[in-house]
Structures are given as C-alpha cells and as structure tokens.
Amino acid sequence: MPVYEGPEKKLEIILSSPVSGLRSDTDGRWKKVVRLSRAQIISKISNDFMDACLLSESSLFVREDRILLITCGKTAPANALPLLLDLAGKDRVAFLFYEQRNFVPSGSPGEFEKDAAEISKCFPGKCFKLGNADHDYVNCFHCSPAPEKRQMQPVLQLLMHGIDPGVMQIFCRRGNGSAARTRSLSGLETLCDPDMKTDDHLFSPCGYSLNSIRGKDYLAVHITPQPVNSYVSFETSIMENRQQIIGKALKIFRPARFSLLLRSGMDDRNSPSFKKVKSVIQGYAVTDRNLYESGCGYAVTFFNCIRQE
C-alpha cells in the first residue's frame, strides 16, 4: 500500500486592508483556486467573517483580509498564487507565508525550494528552517511587501506523527461510520466550543478532516491514519486556554512525536516559554527548540517533542 503524504503545504496571504467582495464565489473563483492546487472543494461553512471549505486534501479559509490554503498529498498550492494575487490585489499583500513540513520518507525532494523560487518571482522573501534538518523540520518562506504592517493574528500548530493505532482505527470508515460519530468517539468535539460552526468529513477507506469557525477564528484538523507514517495536523487561531487545547489534542491522539509551532506578534507576551510547554506535555521530552524573529514584526516559537517510554 503506497504511503500517503499527510504533512501539508500551507500558503497564507494576509492583506493590509479588507477587499470587499473577495469571499464572493459567483464566478467560481475558489473552485478554480483549489483546482489549480490539484484538489477539490467538498463542502463549505460560513459566518459573517469567513468561509471555510473542506477540500479533498485539507482546507481553505477565506476572509476579506486573509486567505489560508492548506493542502496535502501531491497537491501544489503555490500554483494558485497568481490567481490569488489577481483576486486580492498584489499591492494589498502585507504578509505572505509558505510552509512545508518535511515528509519522511520524502516523496518530493527539493519541492519546497522550487515553490519558494516561484513565489519569489512575485515577492522576494526569505527562507528559514525550524527543527532538526536530519529529522523533523518545517521549511518556511516569508515576505512582507507592504510598508505598513498589520498586527499579527497568533496561530498555533501541532504536527503529530506516530499516532496511537487504537485511535487511528476510529478514523477509518467501517459500516455506517459517519463524520459526526467519529468526532464524538474520538473526543475531537471537546476541542470545538459549542458556539463554533463545525464541518467535518470521514474519507473512504480512511482519513478525516475538520473545519470549525467562530467569528474571525478558526480550527482545522487533518488526519492520515495509515499504519506507516500516521499523521495528524492541528491548527487554530484560538488563543484562550491555549495550554488546555494542547493538552487535549495530545491526550486524544497520543503521538509518538510532534512539533509545536506558535506564530505571534513580536510583542505577544503570551508566547509559550519552555516552562509553559513542559507543563502541558507531560510524558514527552523536548528535543529541539527554535525561535525565529522576523524583521517585520512577528516571531515563530518551535518545539520538537518525543514521547518518553
């Protein structure tokens, strides 16, 4: 059985000001964006501030001032950048981020460098690596074209590998299995507040995705429950009770190892210190720590952690 590339590529565009009508899809623009990335839209939920699309390979979130495209497998989100810039306006881009988790064994060597080079044709930027280059790491590209910068919305990511086999069985379709039942059995619904609007999908024969939104905040979970290289990504902009959220996610999936990333503004005094992280990852040892401080008003805190027997 071929190994599916669960680790995602993430393209994010943050605009200096809202673009009225950007969310509109009367012309099928978002289907075109997703199709250029080699994926398809499965379903969509919306509120007053954003649209959240579940994709055949991960998620798309659209606000009038922000676009976040997350895809996995053999997709290519960078292919959609020219169209995204046409829709949003190149001169309105305040920040652009491109991120790719390494895939072990790597199915696409050199792919990040190729994508970063293509993006640089539109916006010159910088590349950096978080983590251990010989093991678990995240390749990042960023640029900040606009002279005036916006306040950075914090984003928390947990990238988990070696998920408990018993847990992974829940995310394989059997009989009358449904996404809602899977969400309940796994405990994932405890990560979503009752006032959040939630959309999820259980793939056949296995795999699961979830989008949940509240106001301008979002939460996304993507699960690849294969026996070899099982993987879960968890991402959210919800920062209240952050330590509890991390603890809940680790308790649900019980990964053998994981990476934690927090992107925040340079003046965010709530960035996770080593002491704070240790307090919610009992049973795990921190193997790598990085802090990347950009020259344009944001920082990324990174930890690699491995389960202790």
Alpha carbon distance 151, 30 (integer Å): 26
One-letter amino acid at 266 equals M
One-letter amino acid at 259 equals S
Task: List, by residue number, the catalytic residues.
Answer: 5, 8, 58, 72, 209, 222
Q: Measured in whole angstroms, how far is the alpha carbon of residue 59 from the centre of its chain?
A: 8
Alpha carbon distance 49, 17 (integer Å): 14
Question: Going by C-beta distance under 8 Å and a sequence separation of 6 or more, which residues neighbour residue 187?
Answer: 248, 251, 252
Alpha carbon distance 256, 307 (integer Å): 5
Alpha carbon distance 43, 213 (integer Å): 14
Question: Look-up: residue for tokens 């996995």?
Answer: 72
Question: Look-up: residue for tokens 């193997």?
Answer: 287
